Structure 1
Amino acid sequence: MAASSCQNVFLRSLVRRNYILKKNHHNIFLGNNRQLSFNRFSNDNLNINKSNVIRASLLTFGTAATIGGVSWGRSLWNRVSVVTERGLGLGASASFFSSGLSVVQAREIEHITRQTDTTGLKLTLYQYQVCPFCCKVRAFLDYHGLSYNIVEVDPIFRKELKFSVYRKVPILVYEGAKEDEQVQMNDSSVIISSLKSFLLTDQDLRQIVTYYPKIETESKGWMSRKVVEYSNRHEIMLGKPGKTNEMKLERKWRIWVDDVLVHNIPPNIYRTWNESVQAFSYIAEKAHFTSYEKFVIQYIGALGMYFVSKKLKKKYNLPDDVRSSLYGAANDWMKSVGKNSFQGGTEPNMADLAVYGVLSSIEGLDAFNDMVRETKIGPWYERTKNAVNTHQGAK
């Protein structure tokens, strides 16, 4: 009985040991398999990651490049498309300078002194030499024989405009007798209307500019920005009611210059890559820039405006043959002139000066030469040019 009991205990002990050994072996087997499975999984992941690293890197680089390209494109648009002044918005109509504010002397100031000037106005024009709107202002100043200073603005960096919240050209600064009497005028049509109102009346120029209040709106689209327009910008403030038919006609065509003619300029002078380079080479040649600045302006500007001109053509519903639109505008203008020497009759009016000023910005370029050859605008242009250069409007 005792032997049988001992035998049973021994057998149970042996079975228990075998069970434990089997269990341990099973656990070791599973553990090893798990380890092998884990190692295999890790190696597979490692292989996948190696292939994906390159893809992920390229994707990241491409995304960054795209974002950077869009940002650069928007910045370039803002800088080089300033020649289309109205399409990009305008600044404040009149900004009175605070005491002690000085103009950036980044470039040499050109002094235009006319013995015909009896106004006593001290004017400084901030401009791009071949900007159509700046040319329009210069045509008015030269025709009336006014003295003024010129500051050529770098169209890429615009360091010369650091004194101004408004960052577009043209800007005309009137410096009064006292430092707090200085006033800044923006927008070519406001500048011209203000000066003409001053020349025809005895009103104070600082008071006149207040007659052209600004209206701010927000443009739509992915390149949205604040747009500032001016009330009355084509009006001459004579201080009395009523307009003659001649004044109404003059005003009508001044508006046409800003709304129609000027929109034909960029798509025509930047129509092809060669014409775009030609235009910016002309810009770099006319302005006083360093060799580096000329290179940047000529090629970066040409590249930017080549693509911008396509957008402008679509925006203003111009035909694919943009030359035909330019010729049509020239013919429309000459119909308004008729058999007269000028639209103003025997002497240029403000519409004559505006059309001449805009077209003078492209004189010598292929677009201008083609227009003169294909239309009858040439003789009128030369007559107006002579009247401007000889200051026939000086009193």
Structure 2
Amino acid sequence: MSGRDGTSRRAVHRLWTKLPRPLDPLRSIKVKFGVVAVVTACTAILIVLWGYLLGFRARHTLPVGVLISLGVTQLIAHGMTAPLREMTAAARAMARGDYSRRVRATSRDEVGELAQAFNRMAADLAEVERQRREFVANVSHELRTPISALRAVLENVADGVTPATPRVLESALDQTERLGRLVTQLLDLSRVDAGAAGLEPSEIDVAAFVAEVTAEAAAGRPETRFETSVPPGLRARADRDRLHQVVANLLDNAARHGPPEGPVTVTAAPLAGDRPGATGLVLEVADEGPGIPPGERARVFERFSRGAATPGARVGTPGGGTGLGLAIARWAVELHGGDIQVVDTPRGCRIRVIIPAPSPPA
């Protein structure tokens, strides 16, 4: 019986919310209140006059007129408060984890604007929740894979099944380093959210710097061929650790999405500044993978965004990892006041980083 009653109440609620809202075209809630007051008074007066013409006394027609005017008011004014009731119900649903509820925002007044803002907020929260769930799933997978591999190696060594040869220990070290990279990315992300990271700029020999970062990437991905093109004597002023994050993440992204055995190319060139003698830095990392469609190029730098895995992607990094590397790279570039973007290239993917010349001290 209670189930049928609940179904009936929901049916009545749906019917009530679909009723027309005649005051929606009005742009001000104050005007709506004035219209409601005028309609209420006019309805009551008309009922009293109509009863007087039919020979009824005012003490009989006035209560009837009041009741009828209240009913008319309820019909024409229900759209004024309906969005507020819907927002209350939607907010309660969101508190339970349901972000799919939306408010019927047909009014053009302040309440309608509030309803539209509420719907945008609900959509943003739904997207954040989707990203959170995907991030948890991605990180859980990324953690589970090296931990499982490391556990298997150590168990085999401990049980005497596999001797502790340098090759076996190197395999365990690779999994440990993979875990360390993931933890470092998560720590970097927490610094981004806290806004606690600053810059410590210093003079950098770009050729030596690129060679160092590329050598580290090659050690972690021996199957990929890395190539560099940096003019000798090129120097730049930037935060070495932050710039290392940028290049390392770009190399990892290119190696992961490029074909087996590369190549991944790193190029650097000076960027002429607006001030006489000021020179910035242009870095580009290119691969020969499937590339990024123009419609997806802005999203690849968003947090938790993951590209599709390629046939050459390393096993254990489905979908291109956790989706943090390029987001962290953009954050580090923006700390320098620079820009990072995917540029057009006939083949593969090319990401360009611009580090402007630092401003002179005041």
How does the TM-score come out when normalised to structure 1?
0.27
How does the TM-score come out when normalised to structure 2?
0.29
Bigger Cα Rg: 1
Q: Whose RCO is larger (CA < 8 A, sep 6+)?
A: 1
